[in-house]
Structure 1
């Protein structure tokens, strides 16, 4: 197969996001669930999932982005199937992550020789009132102190959105490796500037000690925030 294969009407053309990591490909697209058709799975040669049109369109849009990334990184034109636990099953030689939210989907793919795990999250920027309402459940005490010191309501809303998204990305990167759940209060944003962030893990996980620092990236895309946390592969 090639990249000129069927592209469903409910999806707009692919957008290639700026490279957030070396040797990685990150693609996104906008989609309209109202235009989704059941036959889109068959015509895209991707196994269907159950659920309503919204759920199915999100899944298919995300897999299309992942397939685009896999073709670029390892030269294989395939979409990762879904495990019994709901996680994408990436082919040998690749690592990746998929996200979708509010009519947008995105996926990042990188070579397993460079990356042990990748976690990607896509979120709409929260309105100020909702961000401040959600802040206590998302932010640690230190993060809440930083939030209070921000003088702009817009920047406060962005910080809450960014914290939520980075912690989601952190979970998506670490959970496949440690198979242990953790929550928003178990991670803390230490620094964020110019598209780069540092996240501190506040709990012990298998293979990752409390106080470990992990690197993240973020990108503002229209009214959305895209975040990525990557775990480097161990030296051969």
Structure 2
């Protein structure tokens, strides 16, 4: 299977008889996380949450399990517990997906609500990240937060105006993203582009936000975030 994630999750056996469930919460609400964690705890699983990205090979809810998992019925109990909450797990695989490895008595649980992640689109949760300016003389960082707020930080100049530095962001109509200052005096529009680039080390998955207009605060700047493959 092609490795599509740079994060290697190594899981060791702890002094506990409960099977570890590593719950990937990136696309879940706080309420959903709490319900799932409580249900699995009741079923004698040790739940460990994280917000790591999903491997690109996963496009539906998936359970990845170690071949060393204890108990013949462990997977059945886990799947049935999730089913009681209305979560179906259509894909069950052994050992590895992307660079996510599971060893000893542990499983990885990737829950993906229907319609959240599509191969030709980027989910809001995956857009939330730090971006650096590209193709311009202005050094500026753009932070897209998970609560749909943004922050611009200029590194090599001071702007007299500061009311454009913070605001909210949303997908207006994919692949276009809109940034609006909190005082609603400034609007910035970018086109979202996904691509793979290479450097001397490896290939890199790139998300680039390309301006659709000329903005005087950061003329011609694109903003990029990259993850090594």
Structure 1 length-normalised TM: 0.23
* More helix, by proportion: 1
* More strand, by proportion: 2
Which of the two has higher C-alpha Rg?
A: 2
Structure 2 length-normalised TM: 0.24
